[in-house]
Structure 1
Amino acid sequence: MGLQDAMNTRIGGWSSKGLSGGQKRRVSICIEILTRPVLLFLDEPTSGLDSAASYHVNEIVGLARHGGRTIVASIHQPSSEVFELFHNLCLLSAGRTVYFGPAAAANEFFAVNGFPCPSLRNPSDHYLRTINKDFDQEGGALDKKGSQASFLTQSLVLTRRSYVNMYQGSWLLLVTSCNLHWGRVFVLAPSTMTLAELCSIQARGSMLMFVAAFLTFMAIGGFPSFVEDMKIFGRERLNGHYGVAAFVVGNTFSSIPYLLLISVVPGAIAYYLVGLQRGIDHFVYFALVLFVCMMLVESLMMIVASIVPDFLMGIITGAGIQGVMMLNGGFFRLPDDLPKPFWRYPMYYIAFHKYANQGFYKNEFIGLTFPNNQAGGPPPSLAKRS
């Protein structure tokens, strides 16, 4: 493989910078050969190699002659010497098989069908040029006036691409499982709590606070996809393909279906399993508040990804920001008890948990009557506002 000069080079870490791209590719092929596989797949093993290195790399095809080994390789534009090393040839065009058979018989096949290979031309170049249909359409994109796509087109394309790449649906089961578990905590409470304690304001408030804070915290799972999207965005923006506005619109609209699904399905499980206020209007309000909270967390993590491109530090930064917001959202400490500099002004008013808690509490408590465990005492109630 021509790697004698790199014999003492350590692979991995910073020291691997001493190897070129072609040498790294040859090393990866050697690692696979060491296991003596019966079947070996090589995806473009000659990319980044010159003609001489490509020939030596493809000499591993000779392994097929010993021990009954089979090697399948995909190669773009091989040299004539490399092409002669292969026994069988498969040519594809537009996803369809054009030729599959002995490599030596391909020349006759093309000649019989009216495409003979000129005597001084590389056979592989002739075959690929003949079957290639990518450039047959008239009027290429470069000839069209106004080749820059409109903002609407950019947004639609980015939305579709981001929608395909979104994987929030993969952690939908995790959110559902969590809802089942913490929902059962409140459902199983009657065995250890009195009716008055079960229906207390504290129990319901704790449950709703969990929804507004810790459940929406799971939306941080979208951060890895944001980091990868930001890398692609930086390159494509420099090339002038689209701007910041189209990127934000595309990522926002692609997230909406997933976040709605996560808000409605696990939200319904938690809402009705615990036994909150009946009525479709109460549940719709509950799901909408949960959806908006998750959208805010997604937006927050997108901002963090644009500032902190490192995966680990980004997760830590996003979690820290949300933790500060939870602490000052009005549940753990009353607003009047918070130190005014920074914690109350402005953090208490910046934290979205403040507004989520208010919405959840008003939706749940207004109109409810709670039993009084003190004999003769009137039951406390919260009348609906006019």
Structure 2
Amino acid sequence: MSEAVYLVSARRSAVVPRGGAFSGLDVDALAAPVLVSVLDSAGLPAARVDEIIVGNGLHGGGNPARRAALLAGLGEETPALTIDRQCCSGLDAIVLGARLIESGAADCILAGGAESYSRAPQRHAVDRDGAVSPQPYTRPPFTPWPERDPDMASAAAALAFEAGIDEARQAAWAVESHAKALRAEQMRRFFDELVDVPGGARDSYMRRLTPATCRRSRVLATKSGVPIRAATAAVSADAAAFVCLVSARLLRDLERERVCRFVAAASAGCDPGLPGLAPVVAGRKLAARSGIALNALCVSEVMEAYAAQAIACVEGLGLDPLAVNRSGGALARGHPIGASGAILAVRLFHELCREDEGRLGLAAIASAGGLGTAVLLQSARA
């Protein structure tokens, strides 16, 4: 019988567009204060942490999780692991941490993601024959077939065309995402989740967006007359987000009133040419495993890399649109790749902690190459 897993605290930095207030922070410096805050909120000493797992997609090598752990003062004896499944990385780190606890291999894991678009290294590809000097590139290939490895904006345009999601629907989704985020900030709904990282303590991108502004923004890609515009795509950003996962036996030693139980998770692949649909495949797999109907969920946090992709996922999973991204999504914040999935989990934790015991919520995200991850949490009392 597997060990029950609980999220006892969840914190994130603000999400700041690339080149903004966090541009001077390396990824470990961005992550460290969030790690300190999430552990402090859990009421646990650093010595109780069995492992730190960090999702990251742009650092370019090494093990930024170890650097962040040491900078956070978590002790030289604490192991740290960095994983990369691009946009899914932060949520996958949480799933991996939960699996370790379920197996009995750990009692306390700090897991999440950290990303600095601003400090991403320059990358160059080396010609195998040495006949051409190293060539710069902005992203690695995600499939072995160039013709099935589209730019993400082009993939979103193809998805919008195939799903019949026109420009007006995309704009309406983006406008509402910003409006919900602004309302949530005014109501201080982010107060308990945000950590004051040097440079910024609030999400700085959300604004009073209008359909007219969306129509004036530049076209990033188009498919058969259906465009993807800059205003309906999440901007590149810097951020960090982490949760503290504990076993049921450790939870008994903590003075916590509200927590979330880790119920189930699933990862899945789909057509690499339409990667935005991967959360639909993962979510359906999750529903089949758990026996829980997704249309009955209290709240869902669905990644908004593009408005068209978010709409397609919500419709494909049969989610209640009114229960999705109730305090705004990535279109109103930004997309810090390796941290984005962890931000969804942090948001879901805090949304569920405001609900009655036993309510269920979903976090779902897609990744380049046609991969998706979905996680189911349940509000609970310690």
Larger-gyration structure (1/2)? 1
- TM-score category of the 2 structures, normalised to the smaller one: under 0.3
The answer to which structure has the higher helix fraction is 1
Superposition TM-score, scaled by structure 2 size: 0.20
The structure in which a higher percent of residues are strand is 2
Q: Name which structure has the greater RCO, CA cutoff 8 Å, separation 6+.
A: 2
